[in-house]
Amino acid sequence: MTIIVDQPQFENGNEEQIQKKREELELVLDGGFSIPHANSFGHNFRDYDVESERQKGVEDFYRVNHINQTVDFVTKMRQEYKKLDKAETSIWECCELLNEVVDESDPDLDEPQIEHLLQTAEAIRKDYPNQDWLHLTALIHDLGKVLLLPSFGELPQWAVVGDTFPVGCAFDKSIVHNKYFLENPDYTNPTYNSKYGIYSEGCGLDNVMMSWGHDDYMYLVSKENGTTLPSAGLFIIRYHSFYALHRSGAYKHLMNEEDVENLKWLKIFNKYDLYSKSKVRVDVEKVKPYYESLINQYFPEKLRLSSLHRSGAYKHLMNEEDVENLKWLKIFNKYDLYSKSKVRVDVEKVKPYYESLINKVLCVQIAGLKLKLEITSSSDAPWLWACFSYWGVGGTSMFLIFPTPPHGSCGSLVLDSIAFKSLRWKPLFSLYGGIFGHLGMRPYSP
């Protein structure tokens, strides 16, 4: 599938100005689609340096993202999520699930993702009425963001959204906030930090590992479910966040001939993906029948997905005590998930009550920092109050509230590298033990 995009000529101006004019003209050439002059916040699109209410949060996101996206991490995530053996749902149901998602990495948009999907799809449908595969690709390109939801693993934002890039070779300077790659373990690994790294010239992007996120996940889901979308559609799904390639021209040395052809479609798609972000609402019920007909044409009725939480997986590893404790965990999960709101709690008002419950002290060390952990295990207390008091950091404290059952027996639990002794409710630490272990928490005796 080949398209031809005319290349206009510009006589004067520096390279940056020429590129800007070229992009603006290309947008005009696409028919009725008009370019907004600013994003939803009144700033230029994809401006990661402008002072705005979202700028700091976006930069913090990329710091964590660039530090943690490594070859090892991507390999692990691809192996786990490629199984697609945990849940089945329809594409439209996935679209509706995205009503709960806001992308923290996006400086241009603070609307639910379903709005963006329909804005993009409808804009493309207007200008390319005969390319129905492109309409559907636009609708589903961000569906992988369901990974942010509890029923799909509730991955952190840095592992789901944001610009993507290859791992296993040098990080290009064109990648947004690239300074944070200095803290990535792969940055100093000679196997991964050269131009080609573990790849070869013209190997094809299909053979390149991309940073893990919603793009690669939806690409895997589409392929494993036998979609009949053309290769250009799959290319758009996997690389639409790969701005270093389709905006800066980086990593072209890894592309093969098919990639070169598909990139033309991606560049067309990207204009709509980026510039259709607005406050204009789409009548969902009006357009739904059309997109459902495309879904039936290109996908099976139900998609096999990887739903890693609340799916009942791994029950074969549980013993009888685990089965009983799981009941409490399910009760807790309802509050943990659905109590997230804008309602503020008066900390000073409730603090005395929770402090009165504290009757256990456990000393631990996290990443080399001595901490004092105070934990309640009162048999008649409905809540457990944990206070991490930082030693030698100006008396700073962090408070966490966890639920505990009204009764239970004392016991001990060892999870990863942390040991909890004489705690009355072990499921609590089954839930959070993985987090504590990841932080390197372990018993400490002063």
DSSP 256-312: -HHHHHHHHHHHHHHHHHHHT-SS----HHHHHHHHHHHHHHHS-SSEEE---SSS-
Own/partner pairs, 108-115, CB within 8 angstroms, 24+ separation: 108/39, 108/40, 108/41, 108/43, 108/45, 108/46, 108/274, 108/277, 109/39, 109/40, 109/277, 110/40, 110/41, 110/54, 111/40, 111/277, 111/279, 113/142, 113/145, 114/284, 115/281, 115/282
Instruction: Find out whether 409 is annotated in a ligand binding site.
Output: no
Does residue 132 have a known ligand-binding role? no
Determine if residue 105 is labeled as part of a ligand binding site: yes
Helix (H, G, I), strand (E, B) or coil at 364: strand
Does 49 show up as a binding residue in the annotation? no
DSSP 42: S
3-state secondary structure at position 360: strand
The response to whether 240 counts as a known ligand-binding position is yes
Asked whether residue 253 is marked as a ligand-binding residue, the answer is no
Distances (CA, A) of 211 to 166, 238, 265, 269: 6, 11, 22, 21
162 is in an annotated binding site: yes
Q: Are 391 and 371 in contact (CB under 8 A)?
A: yes
DSSP code for 9: -
71-81 helix and 214-224 helix, angle to the nearest 10 degrees: 40
Task: Say whether 141 counts as a known binding-site residue.
Answer: yes
Q: Is 153 annotated as a binding residue?
A: no
Judge whether 88 and 302 are in contact, CB under 8 Å: yes
Give me the helix-helix angle, 320-338 and 426-438, nearest 10°. Answer: 70
State yes or no: 46 annotated in a binding site.
yes
Q: Of 271, 263, 155, give the one whose Cα is nearest residue 211.
A: 155
Does the annotation list 103 as a binding residue? yes
Q: Is 110 annotated as a binding residue?
A: no
- Separation between Cα atoms, residue 241 and residue 110, nearest integer Å: 17
Q: Where are the alpha helices (DSSP H) in 147-256?
A: 214-224, 231-239, 243-246
Q: Are strands 411-415 and 397-403 parallel, antiparallel or unpaired?
A: unpaired
Say if residue 316 carries a ligand binding annotation: no
Q: Is 241 annotated as a binding residue?
A: yes
User: Which residue ranges are tagged as binding site for Fe cation?
Assistant: 116, 141-142, 214, 240, 273
Q: Which residues are annotated as a binding site?
A: 46, 103-105, 116, 141-142, 145, 162-163, 214, 240-241, 273
Residue stretches of the annotated binding site for substrate: 46, 103-105, 145, 162-163, 240-241
